[in-house]
Amino acid sequence: MIQKCIFCGKEYHIDDIIYTCRCGGLLEIVYDYEEIKDKVSKESLRKREIGVWRYLEYLPVENLEKIVSLQEGGTPLYRCKNLGEELGLKELYVKNEGANPTGSFKDRGMTVGVTKAEELGIDVVGCASTGNTSASLAAYSARAGKKCIVLLPGGKVALGKLAQAMFYGAKVVQIRGNFDEALEMVRKLAEDGKLYLLNSINPFRLEGQKTIGFEICDQLNWKVPDRIIVPVGNAGNISAIWKGFKEFKETGIIEDLPKMTGIQAEGAKPIVDAFKRNSRSIVPVENPETIATAIRIGNPVNYPKALDAIYSSGGYAESVSDREITEAQKLLARKEGIFVEPASAASIAGLMKLLEMGIIDKDERIVCVTTGNGLKDPDAAIRASERPIEIECDMEILKSIIEKI
Ligand code: F0G
């Protein structure tokens, strides 16, 4: 098991704390896949409890006693018949990552990332965040007894996420700037050796998140979806899920691969713009803006990995408006009983748009990944809802209301 640059191929020891290659390229963790193939089978995986650590042969952890876990993963894969019917789809699923311990998919990355910090003997961890990463890191570092500092874009983090980061005991710093600026600052602290960086530039984070791909196959009884639709911000998750599918194929667990489809918000869509230009490089968005604050990111660090996932899988990238996001968020709640935060609803909004555009075929088996729980952003939900009716304690009035629902 090594760290390897995706650009120049240079290899680094698994315990080197470097984040990026000396050439500036992103790193990824590479395993001996023949060895994994000999060790695992569909049957042997099934003998373990579902969750991130079911797939431990595929994870970069050597000392299992050091694992820092809150029982992340094992989230539901819902068959969505009502929404599917509404959209004329044969087989639609939602992988609901909001069911993780802190309410987002970030927990999958943090169980691995904080375990790595534990293995390395590091005491101080940190990240920049639009909210969920900070909530998750704050929880896992609390569990591991580590100090934690999080940098947030002031005034742009949903209430639930801010409450979590503060309550788990992290040092919360709000900057007068956006996520991209916060990340730049915290990266400098990491370069100076002041903290261990747990943003998705850290390849160990993505190793945990790739288990979303593993679990989808597992829960579909080893069938592979035709398409995975994922909201994209810093572009780590779509890259991680793609790596998961590729590794399952490489080790003989599955035979096919899905089309990776990334959705961004209209006000923060550098990857969509690159895709539409058929380019492998992005032009950063200076002042990203969207109701989906989780993906309010103008300069996604993992864009080379994400664009590679999209191009090599034959996938697609599209953007959706704030209004489309809110409508999709409501539709999912009202048709399926699944309450997700705005960024997560971008995957459903993207599905609807791509169906209309004729990019997605109605016969496809589709999995939308909903990345965060709706309770994370109560303000957005309340703003998008009808106000409750207020009445006196009067049975006649109440009866007249029930007759009209
Ligand atoms: N959905 C939610 C709910 C998120 O919180 C994020 C990212 C994404 C999607 C996008 O994932 O960055 O891997 O492309 N949130 C980060 C954070 C940036 O700080 O919580 P990505």
Structure tokens at 3: 């760290």
The pLDDT value recorded for residue 373 is 98
Q: Whose CA is nearest to atom 3 of ligand 1?
A: 372
Q: How far is the CA of 27 from the centre of ligand 1 (A)?
A: 19
Q: E strand or H helix at 220, and its extent?
A: none
Q: What are the tens digits of pLDDT across the range 172-225?
A: 999 999 999 999 999 999 999 999 999 999 999 999 999 999 999 999 999 999
- pLDDT at residue 52 in the model: 98
Q: Please, which residues bridge with residue 150 across strands?
A: 127, 172
pLDDT, position 202: 98
Binding-site positions read 132, 233-237, 371
Whether 280 contacts 309, CB under 8 Å? no
Q: What is the pLDDT of residue 260?
A: 99
Q: Which tens digit of pLDDT belongs to each residue from 6-50? A: 999 999 999 999 999 999 999 999 999 999 999 999 999 999 999
Mutation probe of ligand 1 site: the residue of 95, 96, 100, 132 with most atoms within 8 A of C-beta: 132
Calculate the alpha carbon distances from 67 to 62, 102, 109, 201 in Å: 10, 17, 12, 21
Is the four-CA dihedral 258, 26, 319, 327 of positive or negative sign?
positive
Per-residue pLDDT, 87: 98
Query: Measured between alpha carbons, how far is 377 from 361 in angstroms, rounded to an integer?
Result: 32
pLDDT at res. 327? 98
Among all chains, which residue has been given the structure tokens 């539409």?
Answer: 276
Q: Ligand 1, atom 4: nearest CA belongs to which residue?
A: 294
pTM over 0.85, yes/no: yes
Residue ranges in the chain whose pLDDT is less than 50: none
| Pocket lining: 347 vs ligand 1, CB cutoff 6 Å | no
Q: Domains of the chain (ranges plus CATH)?
A: 1-30 (no CATH), 77-102+205-383 (3.40.50.1100)
